[in-house]
């Protein structure tokens, strides 16, 4: 078991590095740097893969240097390097993986490969009460430790709901590194649906937070939308029809109220996510749920889950740990048994759960 891990994450448009330390029962975030090109991406309404990778190439070394400097530690104090090796955009993944391999080799540190999707769930093992500084393209945050007690962190068994821009997955975890995939989206992810519908509404990327903000001003009952696969009897999702329904609604109702439509969309997505998660809770007889991924930052989703009082709901302590970050990758690495030869690790854009 390592005491101090440097995490590196570059699977989509973020370039992130973080130093975390395990101190007895606590996981402490010593530094957490996220440089995002999302402002640039918002000009184009989404991520342009080559452009994301170009920005990451420029940012990766300064981001890692800042993470180490902010941690107050020296390179010799870092015991291992953890890196996201998939899934994601190939150019983006390569930037992180090849950098991590080179550093592991030259600094003589073990290299721990982390599946980005599993990493998202481990955001629930980190605690951060306050952001200490924020720059235009990089957010730096120092966090306190979270005591690893049954009070504050997940225990097993637990149902995990991963809702991000690229994924919507339900997973049953029975222990660290032991899980069963229950179901997932057959087409668009929940975050992708938020993003695509936001675009139809003329809102900038990323659309989830925009829809959520607008939804607070609207009346969801004024717009009827289909609830995709609500009664399908399995743990699969489908969100692409919802985007079509929103498009049709906009075309049919020229004078439509944007806030009402945003509220109806958010309510529909949340209702489907909550219903399927609770069905998994009942089927597998567990009493804990953890949410992860960018959409876990959605307050309507956590409120919807928390309405089920017999279930304990965990969500990352801060929104910065919901969206892509390297602290979650380092956190996952503390519990991983996988160490690879630093010359052999390959980025895998299609890695699954």
The footprint of ligand KG4 (CB under 6 A) covers 12, 164-166, 191, 194-195, 206-209, 212, 293-295, 297-298, 323-324
Instruction: Quote the least distance from Cβ 60 to Zn ion, whole Å.
Output: 17
Instruction: Quote the least distance from Cβ 11 to ligand KG4, whole Å.
Output: 7
Question: Between 189 and 263, whose beta carbon lies closer to Zn ion?
Answer: 189
Work out the number of other CB atoms within 10 angstroms of the CB of residue 77: 15
Could you say which of Zn ion, ligand KG4, none residue 194 binds, taking C-beta under 5 to 8 angstroms by partner kind? ligand KG4
Q: Which residue has the tokens 């602290």?
A: 327
The H or E element spanning position 181 is strand 178-184
Could you say which of Zn ion, ligand KG4, none residue 316 binds, taking C-beta under 5 to 8 angstroms by partner kind? none
Instruction: Say how far apart CA 324 and CA 36 lie, in whole Å.
Output: 9
Instruction: Say how far apart CA 97 and CA 82 lie, in whole Å.
Output: 9
- The strand pair at 4-9 and 80-86 is best described as parallel
Could you say which of ligand KG4, Zn ion, none residue 7 binds, taking C-beta under 5 to 8 angstroms by partner kind? none
Q: Which residues bind Zn ion (CB under 5 A)?
A: 164, 324
Question: Between 20 and 118, whose beta carbon lies closer to Zn ion?
Answer: 118
Question: Between 192 and 324, whose beta carbon lies closer to Zn ion?
Answer: 324
Question: Between 213 and 222, whose beta carbon lies closer to ligand KG4?
Answer: 213
Cβ–Cβ < 8 Å for 277, 161:
yes
Q: Which residue has the tokens 């079509």?
A: 244
Question: Between 141 and 324, whose beta carbon lies closer to Zn ion?
Answer: 324
Could you say which of ligand KG4, Zn ion, none residue 323 binds, taking C-beta under 5 to 8 angstroms by partner kind? ligand KG4
Could you say which of ligand KG4, Zn ion, none residue 195 binds, taking C-beta under 5 to 8 angstroms by partner kind? ligand KG4
Give the angle 162-166-169 at the CA atoms, nearest 5°: 30
Q: Which residue has the tokens 């930037």?
A: 95
Q: Exposure pattern of 20-54 as b/e (b: 16+ CB <10 Å)?
A: bbbeeebbbbbbbbbbbbbeebeeeebbbeeebbe
Q: Which residue has the tokens 């080179």?
A: 102
Instruction: Quote the least distance from Cβ 66 to ligand KG4, whole Å.
Output: 20
């Amino acid at each position: 078991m390592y005491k101090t891990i440097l995490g590196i994450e570059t699977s989509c448009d973020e370039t992130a590095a973080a130093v975390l330390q395990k101190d007895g029962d606590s996981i402490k975030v010593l530094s957490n740097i996220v440089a995002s090109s999302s402002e640039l991406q918002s000009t184009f309404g989404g991520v342009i893969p080559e452009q994301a990778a170009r920005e990451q190439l420029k940012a990766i070394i300064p981001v890692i240097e800042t993470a180490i400097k902010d941690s107050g530690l020296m390179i010799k104090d870092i015991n291992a390097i953890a890196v996201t090796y998939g899934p994601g955009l190939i150019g983006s993944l390569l930037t992180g993986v090849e950098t991590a391999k080179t550093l592991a080799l030259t600094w003589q540190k073990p290299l721990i490969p982390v599946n980005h999707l599993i990493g998202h769930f481990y955001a629930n093992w980190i605690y951060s009460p306050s952001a200490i500084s924020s720059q235009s393209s990089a957010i730096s945050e120092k966090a306190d430790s979270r005591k690893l007690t049954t009070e504050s962190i997940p225990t097993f068994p637990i149902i995990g709901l991963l809702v991000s821009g690229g994924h919507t997955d339900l997973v049953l975890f029975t222990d660290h590194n032991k899980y069963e995939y229950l179901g997932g989206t057959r087409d668009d992810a929940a975050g992708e649906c938020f993003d695509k519908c936001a675009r139809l509404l003329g809102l900038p990327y990323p659309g989830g937070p925009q829809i959520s903000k607008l939804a607070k001003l609207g009346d969801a009952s004024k717009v009827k939308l289909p609830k995709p696969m609500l009664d399908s009897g399995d743990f699969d999702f489908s969100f692409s029809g919802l985007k079509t329904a929103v498009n049709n609604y906009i075309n049919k109702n020229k004078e439509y109220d944007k806030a009402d439509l945003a509220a109806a969309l958010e309510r529909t997505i949340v209702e489907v996510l909550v219903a399927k998660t609770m069905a998994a809770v009942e089927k597998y007889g567990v009493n804990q749920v953890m949410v992860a991924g960018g959409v876990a930052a959605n307050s309507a989703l956590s409120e919807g889950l928390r309405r089920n009082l017999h279930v304990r709901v965990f969500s990352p302590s801060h929104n910065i740990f919901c969206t892509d970050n390297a602290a979650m990758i380092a956190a996952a690495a503390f519990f991983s048994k996988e160490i690879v030869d630093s010359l052999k690790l390959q980025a895998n854009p299609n890695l699954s759960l």
